[in-house]
Structures are given as structure tokens and as C-alpha cells.
Structure 1
């Protein structure tokens, strides 16, 4: 183990590498590469020798006709080089992951139809063929994440559903698990508390050693803890917590986001996001809301989360964040620049990487921020941290 840690930030089709100094919290920008299209999500191989990247020329609910999953070898210095040929996907993937054995890549799709596609990973780390799925399965209304259970024998779709609109009722959400054997998916179980109504999960994370699952609810701004019994997610959450500092004064487009359990299993972190704007003298200006990381302490006997802190991200709309493998640093990635009112004028706050020191009690101490350039409609859509092999 070299002890080196690398951060990768994606802006449209450009993937930039940073060297992470865990002791000082300093990010040193290194080099960038271009990939086939806009980066949607990425996931490292368990060996930490390869990074798998899903790309698309589309976006949320936008038609796409150029979609791929690609493999990149991670060099000793963190530099990425293409590893084998990209494999085509028939539609945009909103999220992806690699199973714990490092044998399969799973991509989740929600437009124009829901589904999971599975690709094998060859022994040399290159991407193999798509695994044929013989079963017609129900992947839900609007999948937003795919994860494999720590056991590797099941996959999970986090089905967000959709909030009600003036012309249509609410689409209920659910956690949909599927048996998985040799990359083939089969009927599993569905957890849909309250029939899925008022339940809008976006992302989940598993506890590293206990049979507990934590889910962030995008639509309701909540954190749930579910127990997993004999490989099945219980139908109702054991605990429910608010994610916002002020849940009684919710701004427009106030949504919970990504969630991560600390490597120690003692804390859980959830992003609160807001980027709604209003017009001021012909310019779009931030209209208010919470942009922070909610920090919870976990009871190690029951899994119950207790809110400890809201740490301001000093940015707007954190779509992804990550802890370094040692659990010493947490870095957030906001998607775009946004103007704010300062006195009688306006100030533009760029997209950014915000670095926090994680305290011995799990609390976050803001250290520094690195601006990330996003031009026009470009977005910092994904960020992740990988330790060197």
C-alpha cells in the first residue's frame, strides 16, 4: 500500500485527477482526460486498479443516443488510461456500481424505461459483454440508484418515484431488491413503506458490518434506517429522521441527496441541496434554502441515528461527496455556479470541491474550498475518491 489517495472530478466529458494530501486536506490538481460523452457516474474496481465510467449525451428525462460504459486503468500516480474498448448502452444510465467480487458492472436506467443492465468484467479488468437477462422484472417508476448488497448475491434499485404534479398524482417510491447469480437478475423483494406514498428514496448506503441500510429521501427530506433480516429489507424503517436544520421553512426545490456511512460505521452523512433561483435585474439569483451536510451519530447496538451537526458546504447543490478510505476527510462536489445577493450587489459562487476534516466524534470542520470551472450548461456531475493499490 502506497498510502496515496486520488480524487476524480467530472465536468461534462472531462475527468480531472487530484492528488489528495490527507494530513493537510490539500487537493493538488494533476491531469485531465476526455471520455466519450458527459460523465453520469463512476465506480472503482475492488482491486482499486480500474475505474469504470458511464457516459451519455443525454440528461435527466432527455433522449440520448450515445451511451457507453468505459474502463480506465489507474496508474501508480493516479493517472487514468483507457483500458479496453467502451461498451455501448442502449440508453442513459443514471447510476452505476461494481459488485463486491469485481466480476460485474450494473447500470441503472430510468428513461425512456426503467431497468438494470449488467456487464461482465474480464479477468484483466476490461469490460466484457452484456449479461442476457431472461426474466422480465419490475424495476419501478423512476430508479435513481443501483447497488449490490454486501453479500454480492442481490442487487437493489432505489426507486424514487415522483412527487405529485398539477396534472398527475404521485408516483410511489420503493426499495426493490433482486436476486443475482452470475450476473443474472431474478425476482426479489420490495420494501415500500406506506404503500410507497410519501416515500421518495434517492440513494442508500449499507453499514460496513451490521445488517443496516440507510436511505436518503429526496422528496421528503428525511433519513431512514432499515434493518435487513435474512437478506430482506424490512417493510418499515426502524428509524426516521429529518435531514434539514429547519424542516418547517422548506424552500422551493429543497431536496435531500447522496448519503454515505463513515468507513468506521459510527456516523452517517446526508447532503441537503437547494438551487432554486429568482430573477433580479434580469439575472438568476439564489432564492434560499439549505446547502449542507447533515451529520448523524449511529447507536452501535440499534443503528439509531441521532443528528449532531449541519455543516455548510459553502456551495450550491452538492450532487456527490465522498470520504477518503481512512475516514479522515470528507469532500463535497457542487454541480454549478450560482449568483447570490451580497448587500446591494451580486456575487457568483463557482462550483467547488469543499474539503472537511472529520473529527474523532464524526463532526465536520470546514478546511478549504477549490473552485471548479463550469461554463455554460456544464455541470460537475460526479466526484469520487480512490486509494492507491
Structure 2
């Protein structure tokens, strides 16, 4: 019998027995933006007053350097720059006074960084102005998300609302974004209900991600505990989240994170508990999802020797390749997107450059991919072949802290 896999106690990066110490899950993006997908929406950004209020970021020292932010467990936010050709990382500083900012997102105009903060009984979200070399200046106070163990956040494409998912509480929230980019009052808090067949992981709702579709019409919350993806409509005036529909996954699949195809009416959901990825048809007009085929995320599928837990999905800007991080198999899977978006074919996997790749992020250029290895405390850096989608390691992994997220901008 194969050894039992390490189960994450996700706010510390330590492991827990499969019998299950309480799981503090965290993570996911600016919709497909953090994942590198082209949204197809003009980045309208914040209102003009915000551009005046937030100090504009200065470019790094060289034109071939760009900022990348690392969300950690125990070491706050780490600021780096990356070489736009090789992906080589150089640490510049950061902001340590934030607790387990395991997921990060950036405003549409690229001037404000948003992070989680799990330092209290309830989760919170924070904002930082981005300065020269990735220097971070706090903007306003942290704002409560209304639930325990906030795990994911994303910015609405208008830049006027911040969305978050509370894993521990099984709820999702929305906050208004002020003119200066700081986080304003909470405008919505919606509680999920239900459970799934896995008593250790699905005893109740566990909202794991919240994102907006490529056209900005609907908001989607992925809930691992209830085996559902929830569709909402965000009221632009009040900031309320209005329930629209619910779509069930395969029972016990444990849907974790999703990404939309940039142009075709499909979405792809990584299922943490049964090591699959599922294609969903997407009706842009109604927000309805229709479950399609599921594919194993590692060669050999369920017969693989190591228990595997998929975590993040990313898609190329042209929609031809899907990438998925495998925890346990310790790899990044490359899928070819087939049949005009309705199908997936596993092409290969490459080692992630460390242990427990919790998150992957494509650079805006699409030519680099960064893997945040939570247990390995490394960032694996890969070049991306634009024609074939193939990943190739670019130098040794970058050693850092226990990671939840790598966000290149």
C-alpha cells in the first residue's frame, strides 16, 4: 500500500494526517489575469481620480525587468523583479507585516496590489500602492471579509470591487474599491450551504475561489466542500452579489480553481480531491455552466502511485494550452485544448522545481511560467514555447519562503 500523502495545514505550510486536522485553506486571481489568460475586456482600471491619488509606479532599473510578488506563509509579501527573457528572480524587499498573504491580485491598471491577511479570527483583505522596484506602500486599513480563513481574492475588471472567498466559513464577499485604490466597505457576504461525500474534506462548504468571466458579466465561486460552482451577478451600484445558478461537479471531485477560455464559451475546473480537470460549457448571456468531460491530471490517472491534489489552472492567451499544478506528483501538467475549447488532452508533465506546487502564474508576455512551491520553499521558473506550449526549466529554482502564490506583472 503506498504511503499516505502529506495533507496541508494550509496557513502554516505544515502537513497533517489524512484523518484531518482542521484544514486552513488559502488561495487562486484577477480572474484569468493572474493566470495569464487574456480576458478580452478593456482594462478600464480605476476611475480617473484613482490614477491621481495613487502614486504611479516607476519602472524597474532596467527595461527588461518586471515586478513579481510572492505571497507567503509566515514571511509576508516578498517583492522581486524578474528578467523578462530568462525569468531569473532578484529579491528587492517586500512587506512582512501581513499574516499569510497566500494569494495576491493586481488592479487592472497595475498600480495597486491586493492581498489576503489572516491575522485575526476573521480574514481580511488589504491594498498596497506599487512603487519603484515593487516597493509596497499600504493604502488604508485592512477590511474584514466576514469569514474565517480567507483563501482567494480577485479584482472585478472594472477595478471598482474586490471579491474574496472564505474557505473556513464557506462564504464569499465583495468590497468596494475606493478612488485611491484602498479597500472600502464590504458590500456583500453570501453564505454557501451543503456538503459532499468526503467526510474529512467536505463536511461543509469551503469556498476556494471567486473570479469574473471574461466579459465581466458574472461572478463565479468555486466551492470544494459542496462540489459546486456558484454563479452570481455583481450589482455595480450597490456591490451586492445576486445568486444566479449553481452547477454540480462529479460527487467528491472537490472543485478548487477554474479558469475561462479567453475566447471560446468554456471554463476548466481543477478538482483537488479526485485529481481531474473538468471542462464546463459556459453561456455568457446567462452565466450558466454545463459540466462536460473530465480528464486525469497525471499520466496513469487514478492508478498513479502517489496521491495527487491538483491546485491551480492557467491558460495561454491564445487558448491553445492549459497548465495545471499537481501537488503530490510535484509537477506542472500541459494540456492541449482541443475541439474548439470543448476538449482537453494531457500532453506531458514536468517537475515543478520543488515540493507541493500550490500556484502557477504566467507572465503577461506568455513566455514565462512561475510555480510557487509551498513545501519546497522555491519558485520554479520555466520558459514557454509559444508554438508548442512546452515548458523548459530556466535555471535553478529560486529559494525563498513557504509560498502560496507567485504573481508576475
Residue 325, structure 1, aligned to residue 361, structure 2? no
In the TM superposition, residue 54 of structure 1 has moved relative to its aligned partner by 0.9
Q: Does the CA contact (< 8 Å) of 2:282 and 2:290 recur in 1?
A: no
Residue 294, structure 1, aligned to residue 359, structure 2? no
Q: Does the CA contact (< 8 Å) of 2:77 and 2:98 recur in 1?
A: no
TM-score of the superposed pair, with normalisation by structure 1: 0.80
Residue 148, structure 1, aligned to residue 187, structure 2? no
Structure 1 stretches (4+) deviating beyond 6 angstroms? none
- Aligned pair partner of 1:8 in 69, 79, 82: 69
* Number of residue pairs the alignment of both structures matches: 333
- Aligned pair partner of 1:249 in 300, 303, 313: 303
RMSD over equivalenced CA pairs, Å: 2.2
Where does residue 33 of structure 2 map in the other structure? none
Residue 86, structure 1, aligned to residue 148, structure 2? no
Q: Does the CA contact (< 8 Å) of 2:102 and 2:403 recur in 1?
A: no
CA 1:32–1:76 in structure 2 vs 1: closer, same or farther (change >3 Å)?
Answer: closer
Give the match's secondary structure for 2:108. coil
Which structure carries more strand by proportion?
1
Where does residue 313 of structure 1 map in the other structure? 352
Q: Aligned partners of 2:135, 2:304: CA distance in 1, in Å? A: 42
Q: Aligned partners of 2:170, 2:392: CA distance in 1, in Å? A: 39
Q: Does the CA contact (< 8 Å) of 2:86 and 2:394 recur in 1?
A: no
Give the match's secondary structure for 2:279. strand
CA 1:136–1:249 in structure 2 vs 1: closer, same or farther (change >3 Å)?
Answer: closer
Where does residue 166 of structure 1 map in the other structure? none
Where does residue 344 of structure 1 map in the other structure? none
In the TM superposition, residue 199 of structure 1 has moved relative to its aligned partner by 2.7
Where does residue 224 of structure 1 map in the other structure? 278
In the TM superposition, residue 251 of structure 1 has moved relative to its aligned partner by 4.3
Where does residue 273 of structure 1 map in the other structure? 327
Q: Does the CA contact (< 8 Å) of 1:266 and 1:300 recur in 2?
A: no
In the TM superposition, residue 302 of structure 1 has moved relative to its aligned partner by 4.0
Give the match's secondary structure for 1:301. helix
Unaligned runs of 5+ in 1: 58-63, 162-171, 275-289, 338-350
In the TM superposition, residue 370 of structure 1 has moved relative to its aligned partner by 3.1
- Aligned pair partner of 2:291 in 224, 236, 241: 236
Q: Does the CA contact (< 8 Å) of 2:354 and 2:397 recur in 1?
A: no
Unaligned runs of 5+ in 2: 1-58, 196-204
Where does residue 53 of structure 1 map in the other structure? 115
Give the match's secondary structure for 1:77. helix
Residue 98, structure 1, aligned to residue 98, structure 2? no
In the TM superposition, residue 270 of structure 1 has moved relative to its aligned partner by 0.6
Q: Does the CA contact (< 8 Å) of 1:10 and 1:382 recur in 2?
A: yes
Which has the higher Rg, Structure 1 or Structure 2? 1
Residue 361, structure 1, aligned to residue 388, structure 2? yes
Q: Does the CA contact (< 8 Å) of 2:71 and 2:77 recur in 1?
A: yes
